[in-house]
């Protein structure tokens, strides 16, 4: 009896296991093919000397020209086929060239005649190899015959066809360390690292602090609180493209509201290019120091856009805090700051540290915001913007992929820390 039920249960387990696999299979498949596979492909590309132009496979480009006039019978003319390898890097191999000639011609001469032959008006040339950048010519001397006078075929009516093989740089086994050398040796590497770290730390901490402050503000109940709560989430949910461009226009040096306002109130005497100026001199008690203006603006945008997320999570956690704890503290004579410091904060520290780690990772990975605000200029180039810069602006895909590998390495370290802590907090 006992045995039987155990057997049944294990059967049930097996069935469940199969079903679970069946239900999760599509997800696993999609994630493997669109996330994990490209991730590995990124490693592969980072070791390859590949530029944006190499993605277009090398082609044999052919131009056909007719030289001479064909009016009457027995007139001769020449057909010139000029071919060219479109790639500057890669050879074309096993190149075979075909063209069909109209009936109305007789062929007199083929140049070069060792590679070409004609069978039933079919011209076939075995060009074997067309090296990179090189070009060549096939010349056909033709004469019109009786049939031509009736048909008046133009020899250019039939397009030549070709077949060839070329090396695909993506799948070849050609590797190089140049991309990583380039990424690490460049003087800008340290600069990019510095900017990334500043951006990540100040962006994350700022958004968290502002979020915490906003949550404290909305903790107290007042008329219209739900409305304000919804309002404060606007920056987070709006399309990044919309809010980033409205910031750019708001701070525009020529027609922006902020600059005009400051000018009219006599706070500044000439407009400030907020997103285009790397440093601005600020004097504090006679000391003049360089303030990284564009970077600070980008960080301010990051804080503005993402404080709602922290705010929402912290507020939700605060509202799950039982009221009577505060009532008891009130009776014991605890002051508001004491209540915050000794009751709320210890309760919130879990969610705050999780939010910090999560936001830290996301801020480090942030691309859209900086790209739309400054395009990575004026001292705001982080690693993510550098991926775009290397791969698509300088067209060096390999170097871009190498930067992406650097980002992924950082990400891996952060994630390990995150997992270690999130287990404690049961996120």
Partner 1 sequence: MFWKYGLFCSIFAGSIWGAFWQIIFTMVGILTFGIPLELDVNQMLIIGLVSGIFYINFQRIISMKIHLTAIFTMTLLVYVFNFGKPYQINESLNNINIFILIFLTSAVTWISINFSLNKISIGKLSRYDLENFYIKLMWGLGLIIFILITLIPFYIMIMTSLKNQQSLILNPLDFSLNINSDFKTLFNSYIELFTDFNFHLFLINSFFVSCVTVFITLFFSIPGAYALARLRFPSKKLFSSSVILIYLIPSIVLVIPLYAIFSQIGLRNSLFALIIVYPATTIPVALYMLRGYFSSLSSEIDEAALMDGLSRVQIIFKIAIPLSKPAIVSVGLYVFMIAWNEFLIAFMFLDDPSIFTLSRGIISLNSSEVPQQHLMAGAVIATIPVMIIFLYLEKFLISGLSTGGVKE
> Residues 242 to 281: which contact partner 1 by CB under 8 A?
242-243, 245-247, 249-250, 255-257, 260-261, 264-267
Footprint of partner 1 on residues 88-127 (CB under 8 A)? none
Draw the binding track, 289-318, toward partner 1 (x: CB under 8 A; -: no contact): ---------------x--------------
Structure tokens at 151: 């048909």
Contact 207, 300 (CB under 8 A): no
Within 10 Å of residue 379's Cβ, how many Cβ atoms? 18
Q: Which is nearer to partner 1, 151 or 246 (CB)?
A: 246
How far apart (Å, rounded) are the C-alpha atoms in residues 294 and 246? 16
For residues 39 and 61, which CB has a smaller minimum distance to partner 1 in the complex? 39
- Residues 6 or more apart whose CB falls under 8 angstroms from that of 58 comprise 85, 86, 87, 89, 90, 91, 92, 132, 166
Instruction: By CB under 8 A, tell whether 239 contacts partner 1.
Output: yes
Q: What number of other Cβ atoms are within 10 A of residue 247's Cβ? A: 23
Residues with Cβ within 8 Å of residue 41, at least 6 apart in sequence: none
Alpha helices in 36-153 (DSSP H): 37-46, 146-151
Quick check: 319 binds partner 1 (CB under 8 A)? no
Q: Which is nearer to partner 1, 107 or 411 (CB)?
A: 411
340 phi/psi in degrees, rounded to 5 = -65, -45
- Kindly tell me which of 65 and 168 has the beta carbon lying closer to partner 1: 168
384 binds partner 1 (CB under 8 A): yes
139 lies in the binding site for partner 1 (CB under 8 A): no
On whether the CB atoms of residues 405 and 337 are closer than 8 A, the answer is no
Number of residues binding to partner 1, judged by CB under 8 A:
90
Binding status of residue 415 toward partner 1 by CB under 8 A: yes
Of 68, 112, 131, 336, the residue at the interface with partner 1 (CB under 8 A) is 336
By CB under 8 A, the residues from 47 to 66 that bind partner 1 are 50, 55-57
Q: Is 288 in the site for partner 1 (CB under 8 A)?
A: no
Which one, 144 or 310, has the nearer CB to partner 1?
310
The dihedral region occupied by 123, where left means phi > 0, alpha psi between -120 and 50, and beta the remainder, is beta
Q: Which residues, numbered 158-187, are part of the site for partner 1 (CB under 8 A)?
A: 168, 170
Choices 17-25, 135-143, 188-196, 286-294; region in contact with partner 1 by CB under 8 A: 17-25
User: What is the total residue count of the chain?
Assistant: 427
Tell me how far apart the alpha carbons of residues 79 and 156 are, in angstroms, rounded to a whole number. Answer: 9
Residues 66-95 that bind partner 1 (CB under 8 A): none
Tell me if 237 contacts partner 1 by CB under 8 A: yes
215 binds partner 1 (CB under 8 A): no
CA distance 56 to 10: 55
Nearer to partner 1, 170 or 201 (CB): 170
CA atoms within 13 A on the CB side of 254: 0
Q: Which stretch binds partner 1 (CB under 8 A): 133-141, 142-150, 347-355, 388-396?
A: 388-396
Give helix then strand counts, H and E, for the chain.
Answer: 16, 10
Q: Please, which residue, 198 or 307, has the CB nearer to partner 1?
A: 307
Minimum CB separation from partner 1 for residue 97, in Å? 24
**Pairwise CA distance, residues 28 & 20, whole Å:** 12
Which one of 6, 7, 11, 17 is in contact with partner 1 (CB under 8 A)? 17
Q: Are 105 and 155 in contact (CB under 8 A)?
A: yes
Is residue 343 within the footprint of partner 1 (CB under 8 A)?
no
Residue nearer to partner 1 on the CB measure, 2 or 222: 222
Nearest approach, Cβ of residue 96 and partner 1 (Å): 23
């Amino acid at each position: 009896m006992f045995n039987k039920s155990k057997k049944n249960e294990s059967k049930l387990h097996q069935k469940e296991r199969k079903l679970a696999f069946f239900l999760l299979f599509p997800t696993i498949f999609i994630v493997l093919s669109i996330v994990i596979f490209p991730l590995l492909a990124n490693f592969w590309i980072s070791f390859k000397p590949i530029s944006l132009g190499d993605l277009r496979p090398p082609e044999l480009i052919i131009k056909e020209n007719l030289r001479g006039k064909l009016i009457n019978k027995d007139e001769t003319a020449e057909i010139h086929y000029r071919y060219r390898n479109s790639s500057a890097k890669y050879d074309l191999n096993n190149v075979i060239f075909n063209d069909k000639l109209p009936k109305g011609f007789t062929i007199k001469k083929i140049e070069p005649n060792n590679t070409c032959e004609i069978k039933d008006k079919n011209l076939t040339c075995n060009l074997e190899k067309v090296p990179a950048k090189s070009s060549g010519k096939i010349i056909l001397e033709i004469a019109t015959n009786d049939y031509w006078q009736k048909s008046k075929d133009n020899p250019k009516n039939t397009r030549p066809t070709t077949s060839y093989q070329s090396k695909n740089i993506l799948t070849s086994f050609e590797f190089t360390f140049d991309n990583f050398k380039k990424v690490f040796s460049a003087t800008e590497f340290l600069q990019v690292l510095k900017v990334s770290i500043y951006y990540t730390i100040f962006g994350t901490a700022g958004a968290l602090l502002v979020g915490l402050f906003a949550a404290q503000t909305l903790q107290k109940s007042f008329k219209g609180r739900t409305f304000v709560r919804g309002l404060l989430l606007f920056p987070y949910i709006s399309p990044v493209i919309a809010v980033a461009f409205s910031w750019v226009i708001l701070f525009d040096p020529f027609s922006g509201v902020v600059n005009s306002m400051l000018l009219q109130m006599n706070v500044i005497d000439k407009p400030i290019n907020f997103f285009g100026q790397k440093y601005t001199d600020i004097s504090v008690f006679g000391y003049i120091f360089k303030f990284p203006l564009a970077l600070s603006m980008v960080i301010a945008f990051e804080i503005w856009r993402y404080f709602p997320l922290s705010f929402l999570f912290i507020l939700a956690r605060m509202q799950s805090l039982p009221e009577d704890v505060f009532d008891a503290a009130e009776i014991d004579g605890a002051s508001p700051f004491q209540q915050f410091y000794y009751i709320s904060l210890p309760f919130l520290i879990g969610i705050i540290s999780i939010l910090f780690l999560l936001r830290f990772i996301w801020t480090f990975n942030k691309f859209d915001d900086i790209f739309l605000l400054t395009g990575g200029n004026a001292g705001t180039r982080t690693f993510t913007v550098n991926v775009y810069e290397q791969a698509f602006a300088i067209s060096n895909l390999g170097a871009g992929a190498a930067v992406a590998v650097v980002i992924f390495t950082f990400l891996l370290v952060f994630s390990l820390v995150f997992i270690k802590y999130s287990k404690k907090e049961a996120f």
